[in-house]
Amino acid sequence: METISLSEREKSNDECSIFDKIEKADSEAKHWIREGDNNKATHFLLGAAQLRRITYGSLHPETLSTFFTLGMILYRNHEYSEAERILRNVKALRRKLFGATHTLTLRTCTSLDRHLYVIDNKYLCIISTCTWISCQTIA
């Protein structure tokens, strides 16, 4: 029979509790997304994203996926600058991890490209992080 030292057992319990916290935060975020409460979903997604970054690192696909979802929820919540900052970061890290033509990298680009911004009620801008920027005056 294999014996495990107390410090190894404590470490194992700590790791389990981190994974449990990630799972709980994910579950709560999904619940609040389904319920349409983006503020509560943001709270739990941010917690899950931070725990994943600490546990797996910034370049882990699950970490990036959680941050991507967080960015999209922030966008739905009209927190455009924070959403854009997060999605640009996800795009850069996915490009580094997977390459520029990988499906997940392109998905992030497409999500950023699709969004329209109205600036001072004067300009309608299509922001493209991958290819181009186009603005026109609103009539």
Q: What is the pLDDT of residue 53?
A: 95
If pLDDT is split at 50, 70 and 90, which confidence band does 10 have?
very low
**What confidence tens digit (pLDDT) does each residue in 25-83 have?**
999 999 999 999 999 999 999 999 999 999 999 999 999 999 999 998 998 888 888 88
CATH number of 7-114: 1.25.40.10
| Share of residues in the chain with pLDDT > 90 (%) | 40
If pLDDT is split at 50, 70 and 90, which confidence band does 118 have?
very low
**48: Cα within 13 Å, side-chain hemisphere:** 25
Q: What is the pLDDT of residue 6?
A: 39
Q: What is the pLDDT of residue 16?
A: 60
Kindly list the domain boundaries of the chain, sorted by start residue. 7-114
